[in-house]
């Protein structure tokens, strides 16, 4: 039994070596037709990197020919299956543009959009690919509203939008943590305007109020009154939107500090005018 296992193992190695030798021979010295046949064979065997190498060699010879539709699809699918999602999105896009009447155009359009989705990085990195993914998914839904992939596409859009919301929220929060209150207030305002239904709204309004409070309390006299009034309005907005917020116990104390400071300013102003 052990000898049979060794024999089978040696046979498999020999077949693998022979196969590699045949592939190299066709890749380097084969005719275009032989390379095409080998490329399809590698693709069907899920040896996508080898298939891509051959497809790259034969593509110039098949431009404008019927086989090119199949080649272009397999190239895109090979990049997708090797997790080179940015390249996959590019080639699926190219396929959709070149073959709009293909029976695979809907599938290619979805895989293009899904490739952009898979290429989207974590929220802390640049979100250019995330925005491209959202646009691609929205375009897919617009072009193929009856596709069975629409529900998944909408789910992906929601996930990607949340990533953008979190990115915007964390940037604003970082400004607050750095005590750059003016930048924090602006960033929170921009975030809340762009993502109206964001799940970060309550915390964003809370931190905007705290930034407004700290800015107002620590401002020079000439700017203090206006900034305190803005902070009071920020608190009103928090309370109006979230009347049961767990933050209110803390913010009510800060609001009293702002009100006391504003009253003191008004008293000083009245006294000065009286003199």
Query: Rg of the Cα trace of the chain?
Result: 31
Q: Which long-range contacts (CB under 8 A, 24 or more apart) does 82-91 make?
A: 82/48, 82/49, 82/52, 83/118, 85/115, 85/116, 85/118, 85/119, 86/115, 86/119, 86/129, 88/112, 88/115, 89/113, 89/115, 89/116, 89/119, 89/136
Chain segment 235-274, per-residue pLDDT in tens: 999 999 999 999 999 999 999 999 999 998 888 776 666 5
Chain segment 39-80, per-residue pLDDT in tens: 999 999 999 999 999 999 999 989 889 899 999 999 999 999
For residues 24-47, give the mean pLDDT: 89
Contacts of 217 by beta carbon, 8 Å cutoff, 6+ apart:
224, 228, 257, 258, 261
pLDDT number for residue 27: 85
Give the CB-side neighbour count of residue 63, counting CA atoms within 13 A: 5
- Return the residue matching tokens 């070596």: 17
Q: Does the structure show a pLDDT above 80 at 6? A: no
pLDDT number for residue 273: 61
Rounded CA gap, 10 and 16, in Å? 10
Q: What domains lie within the chain, and their CATH numbers?
A: 178-275 (1.25.40.10)
Return the structure tokens found at 11.
Answer: 């046979």
DSSP 65: S
Chain segment 108-163, per-residue pLDDT in tens: 999 999 999 999 988 888 888 899 999 999 999 999 999 999 999 999 999 999 99
pLDDT number for residue 264: 87
pLDDT number for residue 269: 72
Rounded CA gap, 50 and 57, in Å? 11
Asked whether 251 and 231 are in contact (CB, 8 A), the reply is no
Rounded CA gap, 88 and 110, in Å? 11
Asked whether 206 and 251 are in contact (CB, 8 A), the reply is yes
For residues 215-234, give the mean pLDDT: 94
Mean pLDDT of the chain, nearest integer: 90
pLDDT number for residue 9: 43
pLDDT number for residue 243: 96
pLDDT number for residue 2: 53
Q: Does the structure show a pLDDT above 50 at 16? A: no
Rounded CA gap, 105 and 93, in Å? 10
pLDDT number for residue 83: 96
Asked whether 224 and 264 are in contact (CB, 8 A), the reply is no
């Amino acid at each position: 039994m052990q000898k049979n296992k060794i024999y089978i193992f040696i046979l498999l190695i020999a077949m693998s070596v022979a196969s590699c030798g045949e592939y190299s021979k066709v890749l380097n010295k084969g005719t275009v037709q032989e390379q095409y046949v080998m490329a399809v064979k590698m693709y069907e065997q899920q040896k996508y990197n080898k298939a891509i190498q051959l497809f790259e060699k034969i593509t110039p010879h098949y431009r404008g020919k019927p086989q090119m539709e199949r080649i272009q699809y397999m190239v895109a699918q090979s990049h997708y299956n090797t997790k080179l999602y940015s390249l996959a999105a590019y080639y699926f896009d190219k396929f959709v543009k070149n073959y709009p009447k293909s029976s695979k155009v809907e599938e290619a359009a979805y895989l293009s959009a899904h490739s952009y989705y898979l290429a989207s990085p974590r929220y802390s990195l640049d979100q250019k690919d995330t925005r491209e993914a959202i646009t691609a998914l929205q375009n897919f839904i617009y072009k193929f509203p009856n596709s069975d992939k629409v529900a998944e596409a909408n789910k992906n859009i929601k996930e990607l939008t949340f990533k953008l919301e979190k990115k915007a929220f964390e940037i604003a929060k970082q400004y607050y943590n750095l005590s750059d209150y003016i930048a924090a207030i602006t960033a929170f305002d921009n975030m809340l305007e762009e993502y109206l239904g964001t799940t970060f709204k309550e915390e964003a309004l809370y931190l905007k109020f705290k930034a407004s409070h700290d800015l107002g309390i620590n401002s020079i006299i000439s700017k203090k009154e206006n900034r305190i009034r803005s902070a009071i309005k920020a608190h009103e907005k928090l309370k109006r939107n979230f009347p049961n917020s767990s933050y209110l116990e803390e913010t009510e104390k800060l609001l009293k500090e702002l009100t006391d400071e504003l009253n003191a300013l008004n008293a000083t102003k009245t006294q000065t005018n009286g003199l």
